Chain A
Amino acid sequence: MSETTLAPAPVEVQKGWGGQSVKRKEDKRLLQGEGVFVDDVKRHGMGYLHFVRSPYAHAHITRIDVSAAEAIDGVYGTLTGEEVAALTDPFFQISSAPGANIKDYALAVGKVRYVGEPVVAVVAETRELARDASELVEVDYEALPALVDARRAQDSDAPVLHEDAGGNLMWTGLYSWGDFDAALAEADRVVKIPELHFHRFNSTPLECDGALVEYNRGVGQWTIHTNNQFPGFAAIMMGPAMRTGLDKLRFVTQDIGGGFGNKITSHPQLVVCCLLARKLNRPVQWTEWRTDFHLSMSHGNERWFHDTEVAVKDDGTLLGFRTKALDDAGAWLRYEPLGGVIWAQVTPGMYRWRHIELDFTQVATNKAPVSPNRGYSRMQHLWFTERVIDIVARELDLDPVDVRKRNYIRAEDMPYETPNGCVYDSGDYAATLDLALQLIGYDSLAGRRADAEARGKRLGVGIGSTLDSGTNNFGQSQLINPELQFSGNNEVATVKLDIFGEIVVTLGTTPQGQGHETTAAQVVADILSCSPDDVHVRAGHDSYWNSHAGFSGTYASQFAVTGLSAVKGATEMLAAEIKKLAGAVFGGVPAEALELADGGVRIKDNPDAFLPFMACGAIINANNAGLPEDLDVTLNCRYVYRPPFEVPDVERKFGNLTLTYAVQIHVAVVEVDPETGSYEIVDYAAVDDCGKRINPQIVEGQVMGATAQALGAAVHETYEYDEDGNLLTPNFYDYHVPHALDMPPLATGAIESPSPFTPLGTKGMGEGGGAGIHAICAAIQDATGQIVTDSHNPYQRVWELMQQ
């Protein structure tokens, strides 16, 4: 059982730095334009890379001629799919058959499968020249019919993307827990929902993908300066494909301009850069253009839920559901079909139903490949469970608040094992909802409804309650493909005391705005009894630093658990070593008699016996003669945090898939204009419970960002294709992301239910669960009285709803 502290009553600030809103260490350089983002990295003689991309959604490539481009002065060279196929092996596939059989290379080989797919790479002296020369590359295509609607993918006459897979089915799996037929028998009512649709969009980090790659011919090693946010994954994809050991792939990141999961699957482009750096014997620079990003990078999973049946009692008690999920992977399985299991981290959503059956199918289409996007795969599923709640409430004429409270997993049942073996660690969902309702002024809504009506508007209120499951157990990949040899998770930190007493922390993570330098310094400062200002945290990731492991990176809401636990472990090791050293210097004083304070170590009852960190660092590093031979101290400590996980039961698809489950409950109030369908979000509340907060201001910033992205997706953002497979929103002209004027008034609240399973009581957070997307859907349903079946509700769709 965990303690729950209610905010906005002030949360007690613990003694020390953890729990305080320490101002960010990162900001000074970023505010002065002194951050180092990937496009800022330059090398003498580097060439700029530009991709020639497919204008067709589906076509055979019949001829490629690069001679006119290569003949231009200043063009350094090109790379074609044919060369890639000769120099590399297809990327390893996560999927079992049939998806396992597709052959994915860094450039299109023989065929293109979506508009914007890279076909040829051109490297030239300047960005402008590379772009111009790309226009001179001649590619002949023989167009094929395009498949854009995943629901048609398995029709007998559907165009087939991957002949090697024998069709468009990539992966399918039946998940069944409890006894849904028994639930049907017990139910008073079965609510049926024919189709729900979660749309395609992504987070569009403001900085696009990029890299500067150098090849060291002497040792056969590439240095890849990049903004890829999961170098551990990129490395295991790239090494085998490039037929090289991982020691030959050095990844370096510094400041990253937003990631949100969208920068996990840039490995094909990085391979192209590597091959060209070697071929041309010069550094190769690639910065993706915004339109290229929209056309080709990391769209979020589009998903349908068909033939849903919900077994309920008349009083609103939920017994279970059955549904068929159809997931559109786009043209390639870059991180997929992991989305086919990631959703299962939150199988029941926040509810106590025990009988669940979900038939998951993922298909390929002639659209950009999908990849993780903030809230990856859980967001789709949580939107589904929330939709079910509000549709059930409407069908049974019950209050959505009451249905939620009746069915929420209860605080006294925590930790709670879900039907599929996940262990929700802590939280009080009902109390979290109450706080959100209080922030929105729920009790005064009747008056506001009347007021809106008097102005010709319809007011609606909607709830989104979601979980941000964090710290993956990668063993869940074995539910997708039992052959895979991944499980657990890890992260690394090193903490050392340098020669003049500098405290230097090195992380394996790749922060993109989450403030890792600051929160890591807070954790270190508490253990070493110093100030965060005294702690130097290296920015970014470098696989030369020996502070990375197989799962290093920044993704899937885990730094507060994996990263900070590694920092805590390494710092505690260092603290112990400092005491051991001081004990020896003081002539055999035991560690228990020593304490760290004021930037040094001292004997507890003898303030004069004080050894500053500077002396400790100097003694070990530069003045160590005469120290006892058996003194095992380096003052350079490396710790690998490994969360406590078991390999899930593949047969039953059962096990704990993540370590922590942070809570988000959002409430939106909208006013709809019935004449036009346009609506305004007039009030909004977001309450978050991510356990112990190391830095509340940073946590709140993540909540705000996730909220803004959810509202953008709900109202404006969509990757829609025409019937020929052309993306209709290929840049910020057509893909409207929220601007300052679009943002509603926002109230945030926090509850702290520390996780009993993590060293600091923290939970991963930051992705949010997409609660805002559902809150808007529910508010529109409330305002219009019509069932909302789509996650994307632009004004014309709301107008259409009201015509029903």
Chain B
Amino acid sequence: MEIAVTVNGQTYERDVEPRKLLIHFLRDDLDLTGSHIGCDTGNCGACSVIVDGVLLKSCMLLAVQANGTRIETVEGLSEDGELTRLQQAFNEHHALQCGYCTPGMLMSTTALLRENPSPSEDEIKKALQGNICRCTGYWNIVEAVKSVAK
């Protein structure tokens, strides 16, 4: 099927198999390998992206379902190579180790902060409950997000 999606401001037109997952489309067809795959059941959140303003796990969506949407991925967060405040906070608080879950963590918390610029600690943890990290134990991730909350 022919689809057209806009990812991080750039429009791509591609012919995709109807059964292809959005995450595989992003990674394999568009070479946007920042979003990752950590499970096959929709639990881990490493593939989280924002589609038309809504936070979604891109392994739970077919590429064809994303036809006509505007997608934001981790590659689109920073501008001109400058890290956002949230990205800087992750660095300052040592909120990442292997970095594999990090793109998903950043997308989930970016979506949270857009909706709620001053989340409580509990709200931050709730926003992260769909994202698994095996390295950090989450403490520093929560601290990083807290530090940029208004």
Which of the candidate stretches A32-40, A114-122, A232-240 sits at the interface with the other chain?
A32-40
Residues of chain B within 8 A (CB-CB) of A256 are 98
Across the interface, name the chain A residue whose C-beta is closest to B19. Answer: A128
Residue B74 at the A interface, CB < 8 A? Answer: yes
CA distance A738 to B135 in the complex (A): 11
What is the predominant secondary structure among interface residues of chain A facing chain B?
loop
Check: A515 CB closer than 8 A to any chain B CB: yes
Complex interface residues of chain A between 28 and 46 (CB less than 8 A to chain B): 28, 30-37, 39-40, 42
B94 at the interface (CB under 8 A from A): yes
Interface string of B105-141 (1 = CB under 8 A from A): 0100000000000000000111011011111111111
Contact between B137 and A746, CB atoms less than 8 A apart: yes
Expressed in whole angstroms, the Cα–Cα distance for A31 and B104 within the complex equals 10
A752 at the interface (CB under 8 A from B): no
In chain B, positions 42-93 with a C-beta closer than 8 Å to chain A are 43-44, 46, 73-75, 77-78, 81, 83, 87, 90-92
Complex Cα–Cα for A37 and B31 (A): 13
**CB neighbours of B34 from chain A (8 A):** 32-34
User: Cβ of B98 and Cβ of A255 under 8 Å apart?
Assistant: yes
Tell me which of B98, B137, B141 contacts A738 (CB under 8 A).
Answer: B137
Q: Mark A195-237, 1 if CB is under 8 A from B, else 0.
A: 0000000011111100000000000000000000000000000
> Which residues of A sit under 8 angstroms from B131, Cβ to Cβ?
739-740
User: In the complex the two chains form, is A205's CB within 8 Å of B134's CB?
Assistant: yes
- CA A697 to CA B87, docked complex, whole Å: 17
Say yes or no for A312: interface residue by CB 8 A criterion. no
From known contacts A23-B91, A32-B87, infer whether A206 and B100 are also in contact, taking CB-CB under 8 Å: yes
Q: A30-B96, A704-B136, A737-B132 are in contact. Are A291 and B40 (CB under 8 A)?
A: yes
Q: List, in ascending order, chain A residues with CB within 8 A of B37's CB.
A: 39, 287
Chain A residues with Cβ below 8 Å from B98 are 205-207, 255-258, 512-513
Decide: B90 and A31 in contact? CB cutoff 8 A: yes
Q: Which residue of A lies closest to B130 (CB)?
A: A739
Shortest Cβ distance from A80 into chain B, in angstroms? 25
A39 to B27, CA, bound (A): 9
Judge if A26 is at the interface, Cβ distance under 8 Å. yes
- With A32-B77, A32-B78 in contact, do A260 and B134 touch (Cβ < 8 Å)? yes
Question: In angstroms, how far is the closest chain A Cβ from the Cβ of B145?
Answer: 10
Q: Which residues of A contact B38 (CB under 8 A)?
A: 206-208, 257, 290
Q: How many residues of A contact B (CB 8 A)?
A: 59
Q: Which of A28, A126, A291, A514 contacts B83 (CB 8 A)?
A: A28
| A204, A255, A291, A701, most chain B CB atoms within 10 A | A701
Instruction: Tell me the A14-59 residues at the B interface (CB within 8 Å).
Output: 21, 23-24, 26-28, 30-37, 39-40, 42
Determine if A731 and B94 form an interchain contact, defined as CB atoms under 8 angstroms apart.
no
Q: Which residues of A contact B90 (CB under 8 A)?
A: 27, 31
Looking at the complex, which one of A36, A697, A740 makes contact with B138 (CB distance below 8 Å)? A740
Are A732 and B132 in contact, CB atoms less than 8 angstroms apart?
yes
Q: B40 to A40, Cβ gap below 8 A?
A: no
> When each residue 501-545 of chain A gets 1 if its CB lies under 8 Å from chain B and 0 otherwise, what string results?
000000000001111000000000000000000000000000000
Structural contact, A733 and B43, CB atoms closer than 8 A: yes
| Interface presence of A743 (CB below 8 A) | yes
A31 near B91 with CB under 8 A, answer yes
B96 near A27: Cβ-Cβ < 8 Å = yes
Interface flag for A60 (CB, 8 Å) = no
Q: Identify A33's interface contact among B39, B75, B135, CB under 8 A.
A: B75
Q: Does A306 contact B (CB under 8 A)?
A: no
Contact yes or no, B41 A733, CB < 8 A: yes
- A207 touching B83, Cβ below 8 Å: no
CB distance from B17 to the nearest CB of A (A): 7
CA distance A287 to B20 in the complex (A): 16
**B39 x A24 contact (CB < 8 A):** no
Decide yes or no whether A185 CB sits under 8 A from chain B.
no
Cβ-defined contact, B91 with A707, below 8 A = no
Task: Quote the shortest CB–CB distance from B71 to chain A (angstroms).
Answer: 13
> What mask results when residues 255 to 286 of chain A are scored 1 for a CB within 8 Å of chain B, else 0?
11110100000000000000000000000000
0/1 interface trace, chain A 717-757, chain B, CB 8 Å (1 if under): 00000000000000111000111110100100000000000
Determine if A207 and B100 form an interchain contact, defined as CB atoms under 8 angstroms apart.
yes
Identify which of B75, B99, B128 contacts A739 (C-beta below 8 A): B128
Return chain B residues, CB-CB under 8 Å to A741.
125-126, 129
Contact A31 B83 (CB under 8 A): yes
Chain B, residue nearest A711 (CB): B137
Does any Cβ of B come within 8 Å of A698's Cβ? yes
The interface residues of chain A lying within 8 Å CB-to-CB of B138 are 708, 738-740, 743
Main secondary structure of the interface of B (DSSP, over half): loop
Does residue A289 face the partner (Cβ distance < 8 Å to B)?
A: yes
| Chain A residue nearest to B90 in the complex (CB) | A31
Question: A732 contacts which of B44, B81, B106, B137 (Cβ < 8 Å)?
Answer: B44
Q: How close is A446's CB to chain B, nearest CB, in angstroms?
A: 28
Q: Does B147 contact A (CB under 8 A)?
A: no
Which B residues are CB-close (under 8 A) to A32? 34, 74-75, 77-78, 81, 83, 87
Residue of B nearest to A127 (CB): B24
Q: Is the CB of A709 closer than 8 A to any CB of chain B?
A: yes
- Does A8 make an interface contact (CB < 8 A)? no
Contacts of A743 in B (CB 8 A): 125, 137-139
A705 at the interface (CB under 8 A from B): yes
Bound CA span A512–B97, Å? 8
Interchain CB contact under 8 A, B39 and A709: no
Determine whether B142 belongs to the interface, using a CB cutoff of 8 Å to chain A: yes
Q: Is B101 an interface residue (CB 8 A)?
A: yes
Q: How far is the CA of A732 from the CA of B46 in the complex (A)?
A: 13
Tell me the minimal C-beta distance from B34 to chain A in angstroms: 2
CB within 8 Å for A207 and B36 given contacts A30-B96, A30-B99, A257-B100: yes
Q: In the complex the two chains form, is A513's CB within 8 Å of B126's CB?
A: no
CB distance from A289 to the nearest CB of B (A): 5
Question: A31 near B106 (CB under 8 angstroms)?
Answer: yes
Could you say which of A128, A258, A291 has the most chain B C-beta atoms within 10 Å of its C-beta? Answer: A258
Partner among B81, B92, B132 whose Cβ is within 8 Å of the Cβ of A206: B132
**Are B136 and A732 closer than 8 Å at their CB atoms?**
no
Give the complex CA separation of A255 and B96 in angstroms. Answer: 13
Which of B36, B81, B129, B140 has most chain A Cβ within 10 Å? Answer: B36
A295 to B43: give the CA distance in the assembly, Å: 17
Residue pair A731, B137 in contact (C-beta under 8 Å): no
Q: Which residues of A contact B81 (CB under 8 A)?
A: 32
Residue of A nearest to B87 (CB): A31
- Known contacts: A257-B99, A701-B136. The answer to whether A128 contacts B20 by CB under 8 A is yes
A78 and B48 alpha carbons, distance in the complex (Å)? 34
Q: Which residues of A contact B24 (CB under 8 A)?
A: 127
Q: Provide the bound-state CA to CA distance between A69 and B118, in Å.
A: 55
Please judge, given known A-B contacts A27-B90, A207-B38, A740-B129, whether A258 and B134 are in contact too, CB under 8 Å: yes
* Cα–Cα, bound, A697→B40 (Å): 33
Please indicate the chain A residues that have their CB under 8 angstroms from the CB of B6 in the complex: none
Minimum distance in angstroms from B106 CB to a CB of chain A: 7
Query: What are the residues of chain B within 8 A of A746 when measuring CB–CB?
Result: 137, 139
Chain A residues near B75: list those with CB within 8 A. Answer: 32-34
**Residues of chain A with a CB closer than 8 A to B39's CB:** 290, 731-732
**Which residue of B is nearest A289, CB measured?**
B40
Which residue of A is nearest B35, CB measured?
Answer: A33
A701 near B134 (CB under 8 angstroms)?
no
A289–B44 CA distance with the chains assembled, in angstroms:
13
Query: Considering the chains assembled together, what is the distance between the CA atoms of A709 and B137 in angstroms?
Result: 8
Q: How far is the CA of A743 from the CA of B141 in the complex (A)?
A: 12
Partner of B135, one of A258, A290, A700: A258
Instruction: Flag if B141 contacts A740 (CB, 8 Å).
Output: yes
Nearest 3 CB-CB pairs, A to B?
A: A33-B34, A708-B137, A257-B100
| Cβ contacts A to B, 22 pairs, < 8 Å | A23-B92, A27-B99, A30-B99, A30-B102, A32-B34, A32-B81, A33-B74, A203-B134, A206-B101, A207-B38, A255-B100, A290-B39, A290-B41, A704-B137, A705-B137, A731-B39, A731-B41, A738-B138, A739-B129, A739-B131, A741-B126, A743-B139
Other 5 A-B pairs with CB < 8 A, given A27-B90, A733-B41: A33-B32, A513-B96, A732-B44, A740-B131, A746-B139
